Each structure stands twice: as structure tokens, then as C-alpha cells.
Amino acid sequence: MRVSKLQSFDEVADAERILRDGFPTGVINIQSMYTLAKYYRSICGFGEARIKKALVDFCKLQNPSFNPVLEDAFLRKWVMNAMKYEIKKAKPVIITRQEVETIKEVKDAKKRKLLFVALVLAKYNHKTDFSKYFITYNNRRDMVVHCKFSMKENDVSDALSEFVGTLLTLYNPEQELVRLNYVYPDSEAVLEIKDFGRLMDYFKDIFGDTISCARCGVEVERTSNRTKYCPECAKIISKERNRVYMKKTYQVKKVT
Ligand SMILES: [Zn+2]
């Protein structure tokens, strides 16, 4: 089983919170320990031995019966991970005009939202010494949470499958990486994202408000306060109304 936690946009703040609040129940949170180890490495500049000692001290403080000998495998994993990966610091993500234009061409608002959030994640996680931008299969849960709609992880893959070969490339199936082909870092900056808790507000600002069609459920742009249906359903509904109206009129005429 894979335990995927949501992507953090500020692990330094996360680590400081862990140090301040600890684990009130005394249960060591394994994921949090990875973050803490990275903090000791990237922020405090500790070497392997000092990271390990700091982690043991912290765990003992949380739970006096913590046994570093029994938990040595975990301790080593936390330390190795910290030596390998930098802590994720808070940093803004810049969205450019060309990126917005590309996403705008996608008709379905749900898919547009998924592609937008994928772009933000890929840009946040991008390594400066690398020219390509990625999301991982694990990010699917983050995407749904940020899009604020409910969708199963497999349905996210299905929804995005139509873009494979154009906007997306299945880059390295073994590492579960998906490459984004709609990142244009050199285009003009149009948006700076700092508050990652409200990605859909940013989305609304650029792409407009959306509603889900009262007839078929597809997400479409809200063009007025009266928008209730997607364009296709609106046509069908209006035809239906016309038909009913004609029938009534005809019947009335026949009677008179
Ligand atoms: Zn519809």
C-alpha cells in the first residue's frame, strides 16, 4: 500500500509547526519525521550523525518509550532522505500568458482546472537545473483537492488521457512521471501564486467562473447569473420548450 500525503508548499513552516506542537498523542508521525529530518539538514545544516541524534531526541521527547535501536530502519530512512532531498521552501509560482492561452483552449472546465493545478504543482516542484516539468501519479489526489471537486484518482487519469501526446507525455511509467508540454517559462508573467490554499480563486480570476450543467453535469463557464446549462443542453432544453409551447398554442388554436 502506498501512503500518499498531500503535497506541502512550505515544508519549513510544517517543520517549525512540528517542532512547536509535537505529536500531542505521543504517536510518531512517520511522514512528519521526513520533513523534520530535511529541516535539520537544509535549515540547520546538520550532518548525518547530528540529524539522527536530533530526531532521536525529538522522538523521545514525544514518546519516552521510543526505542532508537528498534526504530533504526526508520531513522536511517529519514536521514538518507534528508541527505538526498532539499526541504521545500515557500516560493511563489509564476504563470505566464502562453500557459493561460493554452489552457483556455480546453473546453471542459473540469479538465481545465486539472491542467491548471497540474501546472502549478509542476512549476512548484520544478528543479531549476532541469528544463522539463513533471507531475507524478501521486499528485492526482492533490489535484482533486485543489480543484475542490470529487473525482477518483483513476478518473483523473481518464480525464487527462485525451491530452497524452499533446499537452502531456507519459515520461517514465516506472517512476510514474507525467511531463507537462504546456509550460512556457519565457512568456510574459500574468499571475503570481503565493497562497496555495486558494488555487481555485486564482483560477476563477483568469478563466472565469464555472457552473456544472443542471442537465448533464459537465462544467461550463458561467456567462451570466442565469446560466444553468451547458450550451448543448441549453439548445436541447430550449427546443423542448419550443415544442411544448408550439403544442400548447396549436391545441389552443384548435379549440378556438
Ligand atoms: Zn449539459
3-class DSSP state of 179: strand
In a shared domain, residues 48 and 98: no
Cell numbers for 105: 483552449
Residue 254 has pLDDT above 70, yes or no: no
Give me ligand 1 centre to Cα 217, in Å.
Answer: 6
List pLDDT tens digits, range 54-85: 999 999 999 999 999 999 999 999 999 999 99
Q: At what angle do helices 109-125 and 153-161 cross, to 10 degrees?
A: 100
Q: Decide if pLDDT at 188 tops 80.
A: yes
User: What are 6-62's pLDDT values in tens digits?
Assistant: 889 999 999 999 999 999 888 999 999 999 999 999 999 999 999 999 999 999 999
Q: pTM of the entire structure?
A: 0.79
Separation of CA 107 and ligand 1 centre (Å): 13
Same domain, 204 and 137: yes
Ligand 1 centroid to Cα of residue 165, in Å, is 28
**Domain boundary residue, one of 59, 84, 109:** 84
Q: Domain check: are 65 and 121 in the same one?
A: no
Q: How far does residue 224's CA lie from ligand 1's centre (Å)? A: 16
Q: Is the pLDDT of residue 253 over 70?
A: no
Say how many Å lie between the CA of residue 241 and the centre of ligand 1. Answer: 16
**What are 195-209's pLDDT values in tens digits?**
999 999 999 999 988
pLDDT of residue 221 exceeding 90: no
111: containing domain:
93-208
For ligand 1, the distance from its centroid to the CA atom of residue 99, given in whole angstroms, is 27
Residues, CB within 5 angstroms of ligand 1 (ion): 213, 215-216, 230, 233
Contact 118, 169 (CB under 8 A): no
